[in-house]
Structure 1
Amino acid sequence: MFEYRHALVRMRLGESDRQIAKTHLMGRRKLAQVREIAETLGWLAPDTLLPNDAELSLALAGRSPVQPSTSSINPFQNDVRDWVKQGIAGIAIHTALVRKHGYTGAYSSVRRFIAKLKKDNPTATVMLDFNPGEAAQVDFGSGPEIIDAFTGEVTKTHFFVMTLAWSRHQYAEIVRDQKVETWLGCHRRAFEFFGGVPGKMIIDNLKSAIVKASFHDPQVQRSYAECAEGYQFLISPCPPREPQKKGRVESGVKYIKNNFMPLREFRTLRDANEQLRAWVMETAGNRIHGTTKEKPLTLFAETEKHVLRPLPSVPPEMAVWAQVKLHGNCHVEFRRSFYSAPYRLVHQELWLRATEKTVQLFDGIELVAIHPRLPRPGSKSTLEDHLPPDAKAYIMHDPQWCLAQAEKVGPACLSFIDELFSDKVLDNLRAAQGALRLKKKYGAKRLEAACQRALDHNDIRYCTVKRILEKGLDVLPRPVFHEEVKEIYTGKSKYCRELSGILQ
């Protein structure tokens, strides 16, 4: 309207459309239309008042020579509106229109339609106010790739950032992952850095903190809930897909990416964190913040530091909770290591609680196992009482145990067991264990005799000893096997030739 009023003033001063167009105010065609309307309504008379913006807008409405075109998206606008509300990208919307509706238009049509939707339905937000010490906002951001100067190992990293909502003072740390234990450890170090605990944590719905995101009923990760109880702060997750609810830490992450990361070299992860800590305390903490117009470090030191909740006298133990399944081998897997639990709970869901030093397993509220934390992947911690009786007997009754038990029975039994273990093909551990178990049923004396008889016949098998005992052959007089053979082969028989010379 200002341009139209300016054009009317020049017309009233007697300037032609050509002269006005040279000022690049508007084109000659539009000036001609404006002059026609002004002459009709009497606006060019020197003694009349210029119309106000409302009158001018009403008079010029609908007189544009360029009529708005109809968008090719209109037949599908309901679908497009729903997709835009869901936050789907424009290129994905264009692909879906082509696939589902056979749309032949260009992506630029989709882009213009989406831009018009956003212009007609602008999103307005409210600037939230917080009292000193009331809240902190927490988030992760993608960090730099660090090439270790000594090993050459390339490490992908993340930023952990906790920003105090009132003073904008922040704690930042570069970490390797976003696991639960990393999330909890960063919270502990942030509280120690600030020297106190804010009353509320405004967070995103990352899996380390929120198991199930929901607008009304979010489900908090058990480990994070235990941390909140220990430090006495409230957890306030943002609604799903609404990160603007924690815009202060979002801005803090961008500030680190744009002002700290560029043009820096990091030798190791430790070196990167030392540089980041110095930057936070010197550059970031002493800048004039764009919103508060004050230095974050000054606001924190003078006011907010003194109203934070005090740290607990005994730091709460940081523990990771996870639901695990007890596999058929009587072990659960956690962080690529294995921990045993009682065999009666096989194929059931258990709760696992892991600290820096221990791993505990719970069946409901009952503690059923406790192990030392294994640092190396692939390691295994097994308690013998957790194994089924058969498996426990097999593991405990090794060859040395079998030989020791056989020696208690007698020399024949010891020789029999030793012959079993001398086999160069078969692992006869189960055979030896089975033979020794026959002692419970038949007694040591009969087992010794049965082993002797098996040795006499050179039949070193478990089933031989068992058959001898079952048929009572062990109580028969011991045969002199060599003399019997000699008698058979030196006797007169029409079925065999004289072999006495061979036996001499």
Structure 2
Amino acid sequence: FFSFEDLNKAIIKELDNFNNRPFQKKEGSRKSVYLDEELPFMKALPEQPFELSVWKRAKVQLNYHISIEKMNYSVPYEYVGNYVDVKVTKRTVTVYYKMNQICTHDRLYGRINQYSTNESHMPENHQKFQWNKDRFMKWAASIGDNTSILVSKLFDRYKVEEQAYKGCMSLLKLSDKYGKTRLENACQLALDHISQPGYKNIKMILQSNQDLKDKNDNVQSECDMHAFVRGKDYYGGRNNG
């Protein structure tokens, strides 16, 4: 043979002869057995060819998204706080919880920190609107001016708006645990003493009760400032009475 094409043609011819050759000790041939016994049970090949995959583990964040290779994919909000297993292929990102598939996304490419969000994964009160800067700013404004300033600063740090979402969400959710007043005071304290405050700074202030200590110090300073101080004339004796 002088080419693979000629060789393959000869192999196909001999293979056909081999499959149609009658068995020596029973009826039929390899081809007839295939047609009668195997073909009826065969299933169609998958629509997509097999792809190599990589498995990762991720935690579902408060915004019901997971971060995989600097991209964000939504997960049903019921799984917030849980760890999930993630199968990553060239085309898809598939999420499993305790070996059960809970969702799948087309894999994101391009600029980092993009979001793939399925609206059905949102709580009902979130499905009316998507995450954006305006929504975070309105949420911050409902807490206080200092919180609004700090959230605005978080957005100013990033060229891509979506990169600030996780930090803003974590920051504003602190009001659920510590209350709006304490969060507002903590933001004020951070703005006064830290050049670029963020979620971790505010969380540390609240956990260590620094916002309460600072408030008490301010109250004490105000009392000292307005205390009644009697001069020497007041204690000059009865003649001054």
TM range (shorter): 0.3 to 0.5
Looking at CA atoms only, which structure, 1 or 2, has the larger radius of gyration? 1
**TM-score, structure 1 as length reference:** 0.22
**TM-score, structure 2 as length reference:** 0.42
